Amino acid sequence: SYELTQPPSVSVSPGQTARITCSGDALPKKYAYWYQQKSGQAPVLVIYEDSKRPSGIPERFSGSSSGTMATLTISGAQVEDEADYYCYSTDSSGNHKVFGGGTKLTVL
Amino acid sequence: QVQLVQSGAEVKKPGASVKVSCKASGYTFTSYDINWVRQATGQGLEWMGWMNPNSGNTGYAQKFQGRVTMTRNTSISTAYMELSSLRSEDTAVYYCARAYCSGGSCYPGYWGQGTLVTVSS
């Protein structure tokens, strides 16, 4: 079955840039999406279609994709950005969706 | 506004089945796919499958094939996810999530509040 691979954890100091990667064989042809999940809450979309930001999401969140890797970048990370982040995409057929394993972002 | 309200927490014994409901409001129920996603305590998100409420067509993750059934009742704008042959590893929060579609691509955009299913003898 198709898999998306993320690093388990990323740690930065406040104001630094955090980068979270997501690798998958179908990413050259399929969009990546990024969700933020804070403890006890439902996920919230922060990036869609590789690099688009939904309304209400701060400009410090950005996304990119190149080859088999998608990247979520948080420029000037804030303490309130501490959360788990998940990438989401589909396999090459488009019928089967998958989440990455998640990355715990620590900002301190 | 779009709302998805799920049924309450469940406690089941191993081997039993559970059926979680997801009542939609604020939009035309048959116009958008419903996805089901689960999350075990302290673990990541796991996509289980999708259902088209208009046609009833479904697609399930390979891991759940043969154990999961997704259905709907369009008259009450409600989607259901039934998981059978429960085992302790199925203890998790189960979410329904309505697709949000933009530019030809769709993704889980609106989420229910989650339903905790506990499997314990």
Specify the pLDDT at position B102: 79
The span from the first CA to the last CA of chain B, in angstroms, equals: 40
The answer to whether A102 and B45 have CB atoms below 8 angstroms apart is yes
Residues of chain A with pLDDT under 50: none
* Cβ pair B44:A96 closer than 8 A: no
The SS3 call for residue A72 is strand
Residue with token string 């499997």: B119
Question: A75 in contact with B at a CB cutoff of 8 Å?
Answer: no
Given CB atoms, is A101 within the 8 Å cutoff of chain B? yes
**What is residue A15's three-state secondary structure?**
coil
| CB-based contact, A2 to chain B, within 8 Å | no
pLDDT in tens, chain B (121 residues): 999 999 999 999 999 999 999 999 999 999 999 999 999 999 999 999 999 999 999 999 999 999 999 999 999 999 999 999 999 999 999 999 999 887 778 899 999 999 999 999 9
Q: How far is A47 from chain B (nearest CA, A)?
A: 11
Instruction: Assess contact for B114 and B96: CB atoms under 8 A.
Output: no
In terms of CA atoms, which chain B residue is nearest residue A52?
A: B102
* CB contact (8 A) between residue B59 and residue A95: yes
B108–A43 C-beta distance less than 8 A = yes
